[in-house]
Amino acid sequence: MDKRTNEEWIADLRAGGEQQAKALEDLRAIILRGLPYAIAGRLDPNSPESEALAEEVVQETLMRVLEYLDTFEGRSQFTTWAHKIAVRAALTELRRRRWREVPLPEMEMNEDGDSSYRELPDDQASPEDQVDRKDMLKRVNRIIMEELTDKQRKALMATMEGFPLEEAAQRLGMNRNALYKLMHDARLRLKKRLEKEGLTPQEVLSVFEQAGK
């Protein structure tokens, strides 16, 4: 089943019917054989989880191979190209699973107007700088709370905390394009409010960069 040339793989997968089905089955076996060891550094290839992941990923890989068949340029073996698609799909799924147990960060204000989702660092800044930074952070947090919807705040916090876009979109009950639109609208609202408050994006970015150290 490994003996097909690149041209034969392409022809068989385009043929449809039994010819295509046989090629897909052969390709499935090749991917299943190599995938667990390709991601062995992230998951034990002999574990039940690895076997389940491989079965899930191979189905997605076969669909992608058919979808992107016309993009194959023949610079490598066809099976190598397909295998790379499988590895990328597996790593993406592993990242999703790792974040799946992590709750989306919330942003809440206490009675003093402080945001509870992030604390200021205990760094070497002067007392004056610490006070200025705290005041600025409180001001920015309040603007976010007042201007953005709950879903927009969750999306903003998720991206700031490094959530994969696919996972954040799924948690928020939308697709990736809808998340992009949500974030775009949120940024526009914040930009307009910040301009009214006399704050520049550079000042705001500086505050959050310092808070994240």
pLDDT digits (tens, 9 = 90+) for 53-88: 777 788 888 999 999 998 998 888 999 999 899 888
Separation CA 100–CA 103 (nearest Å): 8
pTM: 0.48
Separation CA 23–CA 99 (nearest Å): 35
Separation CA 35–CA 56 (nearest Å): 11
Q: Which domains does the chain have, with CATH numbers?
A: 6-100 (1.10.1740), 127-211 (1.10.10)
CB atoms within 10 A of CB 117: 15
Band (97; pLDDT cuts 50, 70, 90): low
Q: What is the pLDDT of residues 197-211, one digit of tens each?
A: 887 767 666 655 554
Burial 145-169 (b: 16+ CB within 10 A, else e): eebbeeebbbbbbbeeeebeebbbb
Give the gyration radius of the chain's Cα atoms: 24
